[in-house]
Amino acid sequence: MPQMGVSVAEGTIIEWRKQRGDWVQADETICEISTDKIDTEVPSPASGRLVEVLVQVGVTVDVGTTLARIATDARPGEPHSAEDDRAPAPAEPPQPQPQPQAPARGPAARRYSPVVQRIADEHGVDLAEVEGTGRDGRVQKKDVLAYVQARGGGQAREPDEPAIHIESPYRPGAGTSLSGPYLPPEGRPLSRMRQTIGEHMKRSQETAATCTTWIEVDVSRVELARKQLGITALPLIARCTIGALVEFPLLNAWLEDETHTVHEQVNLGIAVSLGEDGLIVPVVRGAQDLSPEGLSRRIRDLARRARARQLSPDDVRGATFTITNPGQFGSMMATPVIAQPQVAILDVEAIIKRPVVVTDQFGEDAIAIRPMVILGLSWDHRALDGALAARFLASVKKRVEGYEA
């Protein structure tokens, strides 16, 4: 069907001037058509025998539709040929332009798109764990979403509790001698929360005889277990800590002036960072009864509510022992401040892979690469001695290193 005008889209056959089997000359009128703009005769595009009429009189078809077939290799005078059933050669599919290939990346050089990183942050996903189905194994948005779905059983995961450690308020002396006049900028008063935290820290420093002991722990098994359970390391270490507190109840105690109270129940305080505003320590009550999954859930809920400023006064009262876990930034050790009136606080810093010496059953030493963490315990020398603190830490270490889910 020819296009009789720029905007014409279809046409109708009015009459066929030639029948099937007829000979037709090039430019001879073969049929007549009608369109929106004009009625016209259609000259044959070639000479030959009309072997097939595809569109009948009165039928309307789109511009470009084949109306009939002419056998151009026929000779005039030859008998009518049978219907030509040779299928037309299929049109070559257009060759798509090859897209420039992204340079091949090994797994070590993985890069993540903005949306993939955002989703990973929101759900606490370690992207190294996610399998990529994109080009060259690239992690696509749907891959990380699928991972989250599978891991969390379909529930939206809260971001990890990022508890920042209670920093020592002690600062080295500020004014060293300066050459030349220095014009300091204008200072601002501290926020209410800052002042409150500061007062607490000062009071703790002034009240307790604070000492800190450290121990190095291999967390390979905990790492394994946490992946299986789909939680972070903190609840597992907390579980081990609670075990050690049950074994050494003197660490799960209060010292108020001269009164020393040893608790049976472990109300575990977990320090939660509120960013630049400060920090707060909500409490998991009766933590001794919770499994690591249970601890994980409770900690996440408290952290979420803490950040949303939705904690009730009961949520932050009555802790018997506190854990602080600021390790996400890579720091190794710290000297945490004890939360009054507790007698100890455990600091969990970054888990860092390090070469360590391991001894096999034959007494042979070898170097292995293990994920290691340094646990720091600040304790009040008024309530206990260094030996007890060290034994407590050793207990935590044993439980962590021997952890079995």
Partner 1 sequence: MTELTYLRAISDGLRTEMRDDERVLLMGEDIGVYGGAFKVTDGFIEEFGADRVMDTPLAESGIVGTAVGAAVVGLRPVCEMQFADFVSCGFDQIVNVAGKMLYRQGLPVNVTIRLPSGGGFSGGPFHSQNPEAWFMHAPGLKVVAPSTAEDAKGLIIASIRDPNPVIYMEHKNLYRRVKGEVPEGSYETPFKARVAREGTDLVVIAYGAMVHTALDATADLDGASIMVLDLRSLVPLDEDAILRAVHQCSKVVVVDEANQTCAAGAQVSALIAERGFEDLDGPIVRVASPDVPIPFSPPLEAAVLPSVERVREACRQLLEY
Q: Which stretch binds partner 1 (CB under 8 A): 41-49, 90-98, 179-187, 270-278?
A: 90-98
Q: Which is nearer to partner 1, 93 or 189 (CB)?
A: 93
Which 34-63 positions form the footprint of partner 1 (CB under 8 A)? Answer: 36
Cβ 155 to partner 1, closest distance in Å? 20
Q: Examine residue 185 and tell whether it contacts partner 1 (CB under 8 A).
A: no
Q: Which is nearer to partner 1, 97 or 259 (CB)?
A: 97
Contact residue for partner 1 among 96, 172, 181, 402 (CB under 8 A): 96
- Distance in angstroms (rounded) separating the CA atoms of residues 43 and 132: 59
Those residues with Cβ within 8 angstroms of residue 108's Cβ, 6 or more apart along the chain or in another chain: none
- Amino acid code (one letter) for 194: R
Q: Which stretch binds partner 1 (CB under 8 A): 42-50, 91-99, 259-267, 320-328?
A: 91-99
- Distance in angstroms (rounded) separating the CA atoms of residues 379 and 381: 6
Q: Examine residue 354 and tell whether it contacts partner 1 (CB under 8 A).
A: no
Contact track, partner 1, 284-323, x by CB under 8 A = ----------------------------------------
Compute how many residues bind partner 1; rule: CB under 8 A: 24
Residue 42 structure tokens: 């259609």
Note the residue count of the chain.
Answer: 405
Contact track, partner 1, 378-397, x by CB under 8 A = --------------------
Contact residue for partner 1 among 116, 245, 375, 377 (CB under 8 A): 116
Q: Which stretch binds partner 1 (CB under 8 A): 48-56, 79-87, 115-123, 206-214?
A: 115-123
Residue written as token pair 């501290």: 190
Please give the backbone phi and psi of residue 377, each rounded to the nearest 5 degrees, phi first. -115, 115
Buried b (16+ CB within 10 A) or exposed e, 38-73: eeeebebeeebbbbebebeeeeebeeeeebbbbbee
Residue 389 structure tokens: 């603190």
Contact residue for partner 1 among 12, 113, 213, 335 (CB under 8 A): 113
Q: Examine residue 108 and tell whether it contacts partner 1 (CB under 8 A).
A: no
Q: Examine residue 8 and tell whether it contacts partner 1 (CB under 8 A).
A: yes
- Amino acid code (one letter) for 70: I
Cβ 90 to partner 1, closest distance in Å? 15
Contact (Cβ atoms closer than 8 angstroms) between residue 134 and residue 297: no
Residue 217 structure tokens: 């722990």
Q: Which stretch binds partner 1 (CB under 8 A): 26-34, 83-91, 130-138, 185-193?
A: 130-138
Q: Which is nearer to partner 1, 95 or 228 (CB)?
A: 95
Residue 294 structure tokens: 């249970």
- Distance in angstroms (rounded) separating the CA atoms of residues 228 and 222: 10
- Reply yes or no on whether 385 is catalytic: yes
Using alpha carbons only, give the angle 262, 203, 259 rounded to the nearest 5 degrees: 25
- Reply yes or no on whether 218 is catalytic: no
Handedness of CA 25, 31, 34, 35 (dihedral sign): negative
Determine the 3-state secondary structure of 148 from DSSP. Answer: helix
Q: Examine residue 138 and tell whether it contacts partner 1 (CB under 8 A).
A: yes
Q: Which stretch binds partner 1 (CB under 8 A): 81-89, 108-116, 232-240, 254-262?
A: 108-116
Q: Which is nearer to partner 1, 3 or 168 (CB)?
A: 3
Please give the backbone phi and psi of residue 359, each rounded to the nearest 5 degrees, phi first. -110, 130
Q: Which is nearer to partner 1, 135 or 192 (CB)?
A: 135
Contact (Cβ atoms closer than 8 angstroms) between residue 34 and residue 14: yes
Those residues with Cβ within 8 angstroms of residue 5's Cβ, 6 or more apart along the chain or in another chain: 35, 36, 37, 38
Contact residue for partner 1 among 111, 118, 192, 194 (CB under 8 A): 118
Catalytic positions, written as ranges: 381, 385
Q: Which stretches of the chain bind partner 1, using CB under 8 A?
A: 3, 6-10, 36, 93-94, 96-97, 99, 102, 113-116, 118, 134-135, 138, 140-142
